[in-house]
Amino acid sequence: MSVHIAVNCDPAPFRINVKLLHRRTLWLLQQNKVANHSVSVLLVDDKEISWLNSNYRDKTGPTNVLSFSFDDGGDPLSVVESIGIKELGDIIISVETASREADNLKTSLHDRLTWLITHGLLHLLGYDHERSEKEANEMWALENQLIKQLHNSRSNQMTQLAINVDHVATVRNARGVNEPDPVAAAAICELAGASGIVVHLREDRRHINDRDIHLLRETIKTRMNLEMGANKKIVEIALALKPDMVTLVPEKRQELTTEGGLNVTGQKKKLAKTINQMNKAGIPVSLFIDPEAKQVKAAQAIGATYVELHTGRYCDAENEIIQEKEYQLITSAAEEAYQMGLRVNAGHGLDYQNTAKIAALDTIEELSIGHAIIARAVFVGLDQAVREMGQIVRDASMTF
Ligand code: PXP
């Protein structure tokens, strides 16, 4: 499957987000079951589309969208298989006309362009609104349905950034004093745009403690994600605290940080019990797992709402080849989980260099990042460190 988007007009006045349109067009190909086909989208100005309109359709003046099927006249999906891929054709859109229409319809330019791409694509797939009223109604209905689904889909949503403030507590506890305070840190993270705050209440309370979680519960304005081991005492605390969600993680006393994901397949009964208890209290549960199909399936089978994919092996990879392999594992586990109806988060080891690639996956809803942001904050301040990471995540997830 491939989508080629070319801008053949002065893009400056429009600030066109080609990546966003690319992502939405890929989604449209998938939804129309032509994921193994390719399509080209050319964004032009009124002058160029007028020229095409007059030369190919005998019409004067600009129009909003034209589509030219690669296999003009035949069954659009049956014939062309040059070099192994199927070419649907070209969709040509005047950005100037689309922009005027967006203003009139009080919608954004990108939503208007998306609608025009949808319209052009349906033409390439053989739909027509000029042949008969019945066909026109069928085409409008499908167009509306696709746009509605797109707006609710992950292809239209931005990856969120949740910040783990455990490391602030680690510094505080190193001195046995009361600063820096993770509660103040959480507020700064939120003011700088974080979509959630993550804290890990460990059995040994090596960083976050009971006072922190209670104050955080009262003061967090976004969402509180409590990381925890599935052990009786911590479960009781979580049930009383009622965070917005919990993430169950494996917890070993000697480890420096959470090493590896949960073995869900090996402890289904225990984890299912905790999930059940949490769900009864209205707390959704995420399971922190390695990006493996068997763990994803087990998480879904025992009723998890989310999985958080462990990105540690991807982040720590010794070379690019290994990193790419790990990235592919994350991509397919995320896709598999998403297709099963699980919500998908990811985290561990993400930093200012390796985050963009993960944030760009439209199956992933939220990233949980701690160490890299707190480490940078020592030099540039927490507010700036969060904003910089937020920008990376936003740019990569390609949505406004
Ligand atoms: N997600 C989980 C489940 C974790 O245990 C941690 C580490 O506390 C993180 C994300 C954040 O990892 P890092 O501090 O390396 O960004």
pLDDT tens digits along 70-94? 766 555 555 455 556 578 999 999 9
Instruction: Report CA(254)–ligand 1 centroid distance (Å).
Output: 16
pLDDT digit string, tens, across residues 6-37: 998 887 778 787 877 888 898 899 899 888 88
N-term to C-term CA, the chain: 24
The confidence score (pLDDT) of residue 308 equals: 98
Q: Count CA atoms within 13 Å of residue 182 on its CB side.
A: 29
The CATH number for 160-397, chosen from 3.20.20.70, 3.10.580.10, 3.30.2000.10, 3.40.50.1950, is 3.20.20.70
Is 193 near ligand 1, meaning CB less than 6 Å away? Answer: no
* pLDDT interval class at 108 (50, 70, 90): confident
Instruction: Report CA(76)–ligand 1 centroid distance (Å).
Output: 48
Question: Which residue's CA is minimally distant from atom 15 of ligand 1?
Answer: 349
For ligand 1, mutation pick of 163, 164, 248 (most atoms within 8 Å of CB): 164
The confidence score (pLDDT) of residue 154 equals: 66
Is 347 near ligand 1, meaning CB less than 6 Å away? Answer: yes
Q: Which residues contact 31 (CB under 8 A, 6 or more apart)?
A: 146, 149, 150
pLDDT digit string, tens, across residues 163-192: 999 999 999 999 999 999 999 999 999 999
**Rounded CA separation 232/248 (Å):** 13
Is 249 near ligand 1, meaning CB less than 6 Å away? Answer: yes
- Where do we find the tokens 């455990």? 166
Is 190 near ligand 1, meaning CB less than 6 Å away? Answer: no
pTM of the predicted model as reported, rounded to 2 decimal places: 0.73
- Where do we find the tokens 């949980």? 368
The confidence score (pLDDT) of residue 398 equals: 63
For ligand 1, mutation pick of 258, 290, 369, 393 (most atoms within 8 Å of CB): 258
Domain boundary assignment for the chain: 2-154, 160-397
Q: Which residues contact 334 (CB under 8 A, 6 or more apart)?
A: 291, 309, 344, 346, 361, 363, 364
The CATH number for 2-154, chosen from 3.40.390.30, 3.40.1190.10, 3.40.50.300, 2.30.30.180, is 3.40.390.30
List the 86-94 sheet strands across, edge first.
2-7, 37-44, 86-94, 65-69
Supply 122's token pair: 């349906």
Is 257 near ligand 1, meaning CB less than 6 Å away? Answer: yes
Better-scored residue on pLDDT, 252 or 372: 372
pLDDT digit string, tens, across residues 242-298: 999 999 999 776 666 667 899 999 999 999 999 999 999 999 999 999 999 999 999
Instruction: Report CA(163)–ligand 1 centroid distance (Å).
Output: 9
Instruction: Report CA(175)–ligand 1 centroid distance (Å).
Output: 23
The confidence score (pLDDT) of residue 400 equals: 35
Q: Just list the catalytic residues.
A: 200, 227, 348
Is 62 near ligand 1, meaning CB less than 6 Å away? Answer: no
